[in-house]
Amino acid sequence: MRDLLLGIDIGTSSCKVAVFAPDGEVVTAKNAEYEVFRPHPGWAEQDPEDWVDGVYDCIRRIFAETDVTAEEIRGIGVDGQGWAAVAMDKDGKVLINTPIWMDMRAQDICDRLNKETGADRIFELAGNPLKPSYTTPKIIWYKENHPEIYDRIDKILQCNSFLVYRLTGEISQDVSMGYGLHCFDMRKAEWDTDMAKALGIPEAFLPPIFPCTAVVGKVNEEASKRTGLAVGTPVVAGGLDAACGTLGAGVSRPGETQEQGGQAGGMSICIDEYAADPRLILGYHVVPDTWLLQGGTTGGGGVMRWFEQNFADYERSNGSGRSSLVQLNEIAEKIPAGCDGMVFLPYMNGERTPIWDPEAKGVFYGLDFSKTKGHFVRACMEGVAFALRHNLEVAAAAGAGVDELKAMGGSANSLLWTQIKADVTGKRIVVPASDTATTFGAAILAGVGVGIYQSCTDAVDKTVHVTRTHEPNPENREIYDKMYGIYLEIYEQLKETMHKQRRI
């Protein structure tokens, strides 16, 4: 009988469940999509029950459609998108749809709390500025807008800890998800009760904190009936999707850096000394005794997903037999670097780092009659690359410069897009198994927790291998330097106009 590990990733647009052998080989993988609800401008929320239904369906299909058996699963790791606020009552019932990381509804709450509690005091403890996309203001939003629901809250969970609860019945929060709440002491990795009181967050809402590799429970009978998993299968605390993806891409040592190509964009730099910067995001890595200094943008692979859904009817229906994304890549490849002067701001749901502007808007600049669909596709790719460069430059100014990026996520499957990122940033980009990095990172945590690996670094050394390398093309550097300057200038020139829209 094989020793296998199950990795679960609760992403923004879909969940992925994959089974891995100890050598990192993907045995099988399934995914299921679910909705992001946008009932009002700036809102983005999901029903946590959709995560559970999607994951459980994937697990059932694995057992029904492959030769994997429940008894072969040695351990389960769960990762998920950050900054959710799953409001759960004492019976484990979800009380309301949770705002997710893209949600910007709580700007006024942040403005008030930063003034009343002190923005500097909050940042000094939490290592992160108080912004609407984090978990903290969403809890207060519940209190002020749904007091009848707020009064019934027993615990606030993150999406991975909510699924861990459904699998095991145990309440937990892993350390890498602590960064979503500003009563989390980023130096000590523990809740600060004084700050919780100052922010108006009841201490009872806060789950106990566990290391990411800690076995916090075992699959219970109810979860077994719904999934086919064996009762008693160990489940570890898990971690943030970006952190698990960073680990799965091979980042386990200080100085190594991941480039994120999932729904969101950005990067994660592994550091072993506390280094907070208000323009960036700081959180614990899933690797013990390290942090991740992160750039997180709203416009990553999700930009291409949006474009494909809305503007690729021809590519989907032309009978070529090739995926629409492959065809979009092909027409973008015909456009020269710099996109003939066309620039895209990928601020599709406001923007996070480094500008932290919930009112920022997506912009295509430089249109004329010569522009084609290929220009739009390439501009999307280059705009996301400019956002990555912006974050890398801020990180370098904060003392965390990097020379090489390890790419992950669906965007890394595009050779063109990955090369554009290398050319724009001037960094070498190496690509391991991009599609499975996040679920594999979660599986590694389970493997460490049950003793298959000695440590996260041991797992990376044994399993993660580079499949290709992209060196920056110096011929494109001058072009991209010029276009990057225009990219920065467009936002600065339009910022006030963007903010006026909120007041209309």
Question: Does 230 lie in the same domain as 112?
Answer: yes
User: What gap in Å lies between CA 416 and CA 381, rounded to an integer?
Assistant: 9
User: What gap in Å lies between CA 420 and CA 416, rounded to an integer?
Assistant: 6
> CA angle, 194 as apex, 193 and 200 as ends, to 5°?
85
Signed CA dihedral, 478, 484, 490, 496: sign only: negative
Residue type for position 149 = I
pLDDT at 504: 54
Question: Does 343 lie in the same domain as 222?
Answer: no
Question: Does 236 lie in the same domain as 308?
Answer: no
Residue 252 lies in a domain: no
Residues of the chain with pLDDT under 50: none
Q: Which residues contact 16 (CB under 8 A, 6 or more apart)?
A: 8, 9, 29, 30, 31, 58, 438, 439
Q: What is the pLDDT of residues 146-203, one digit of tens each?
A: 999 999 999 999 999 999 999 999 999 999 999 999 999 999 999 999 999 999 999 9
Question: Does 23 lie in the same domain as 96?
Answer: yes
Q: Which residues contact 395 (CB under 8 A, 6 or more apart)?
A: 267, 269, 277, 280, 293, 295, 401, 402
End-to-end CA distance of the chain: 65
Residue 382 lies in a domain: yes
Residue with tokens 């145990």: 170
Question: Does 229 lie in the same domain as 120?
Answer: yes
Backbone angles phi, psi at 77, to 5 degrees: -120, 140
Residue 288 lies in a domain: no
Using H for helix, E for strand and C for coil, what is the string for 363-387? EEECCCCCCCHHHHHHHHHHHHHHH
Instruction: From 219, 291, 284, 265, select the one nearest 380 (Cα to Cα).
Output: 265
User: What gap in Å lies between CA 199 and CA 454, rounded to an integer?
Assistant: 40
Residue 70 lies in a domain: yes
Residue 432 lies in a domain: no
Q: In the chain, helix, strand, coil percent, each to 5?
A: 45, 20, 35
User: What gap in Å lies between CA 48 and CA 242, rounded to an integer?
Assistant: 19
User: What gap in Å lies between CA 438 and CA 238, rounded to an integer?
Assistant: 11
Question: Does 141 lie in the same domain as 16?
Answer: yes
Residue 69 lies in a domain: yes
**Domains: count for the chain:** 2
Helix (H, G, I), strand (E, B) or coil at 497: helix
DSSP code of residue 37: B
Q: Are 165 and 157 in contact (CB under 8 A)?
A: yes
Q: Which residues contact 387 (CB under 8 A, 6 or more apart)?
A: 265, 266, 297, 299, 346, 351
User: What gap in Å lies between CA 353 and CA 105, rounded to an integer?
Assistant: 17
Residue 487 lies in a domain: yes
Q: Which residues make beta-bridge pairs with 215?
A: 236
Q: Are 375 and 335 in contact (CB under 8 A)?
A: yes
Helix (H, G, I), strand (E, B) or coil at 221: helix
Measured from the Cβ of residue 20, the count of other Cβ atoms closer than 10 Å reads 26
Q: What is the pLDDT of residues 313-365, one digit of tens each?
A: 999 999 999 999 999 999 999 999 999 999 999 999 999 999 999 999 999 99
Domain residues for the domain of 31 are 4-241
Residue 406 lies in a domain: no
Q: Are 432 and 249 in contact (CB under 8 A)?
A: yes
Residue with tokens 């370098």: 396
Q: What is the CATH number of the domain that holds 27?
A: 3.30.420.40
DSSP code of residue 264: S
pLDDT at 185: 98
Question: Does 184 lie in the same domain as 71?
Answer: yes
Last-in-domain residue among 241, 263, 286: 241
pLDDT at 261: 86
Measured from the Cβ of residue 222, the count of other Cβ atoms closer than 10 Å reads 12
Show the tokens assigned to 397: 């100014």
Q: Are 17 and 8 in contact (CB under 8 A)?
A: yes
Question: Does 349 lie in the same domain as 223?
Answer: no
Question: Does 195 lie in the same domain as 309?
Answer: no
Question: CA separation (Å) from 488 to 344, 361, 387?
Answer: 11, 13, 9
Signed CA dihedral, 185, 187, 188, 190: sign only: positive
Last-in-domain residue among 225, 241, 257: 241
Last-in-domain residue among 207, 223, 241: 241
**Does an H or E element contain 419, and which?**
helix 415-425
Instruction: From 331, 413, 309, select the one nearest 379 (Cα to Cα).
Output: 331
Question: Does 108 lie in the same domain as 220?
Answer: yes
- Residue 376: Cβ-neighbour burial (10 angstroms; 0-12, 13-18, 19+): buried
CA 99 to chain centre: 15
